[in-house]
Amino acid sequence: MATCRGIDVSAYQGTQDWAAHKSDGVVFAFAKATEGQHSRDTKFDTHISGIIKAGLVPGAYHFAWPNQDVDLEAANYIGTVKPHAGKG
């Protein structure tokens, strides 16, 4: 069975050496982008830029709050990740 390795990071993990992760066999990484209606992860821009620069497959995620407005949460996420979105 084939497998691939990935990492999930947020502001709690701090600065990462993405080139070293790639050398260690990491293929993809997910970075926390947003939470709720208004919160943005303070390290998202740094993490996602490093992931992309290292040539890893990038991903972003949103931590949803079920008692908040879904449209505002979606707008928060889209506004945060859109500047980093590539083609496709």
**How many Cβ atoms sit within 10 Å of the Cβ of residue 1?**
2
Gap between the Cα atoms of 26 and 5, Å rounded: 5
- Mean pLDDT of the chain, nearest integer: 95
What mean pLDDT is predicted for residues 82-88?
Answer: 85
User: What pTM, to 2 d.p., does this model score?
Assistant: 0.90
Q: Which ranges of the chain does DSSP label H, i.e. alpha helix?
A: 18-23, 44-53, 70-81
Q: What is the pLDDT of residues 33-72, one digit of tens each?
A: 999 999 999 999 999 999 999 999 999 999 999 999 999 9
The answer to whether residues 4 and 59 touch, using CB atoms and an 8 Å cutoff, is: no
Is residue 88 very low, low, confident or very high in pLDDT (cuts 50, 70, 90)? low
What mean pLDDT is predicted for residues 73-87?
Answer: 94
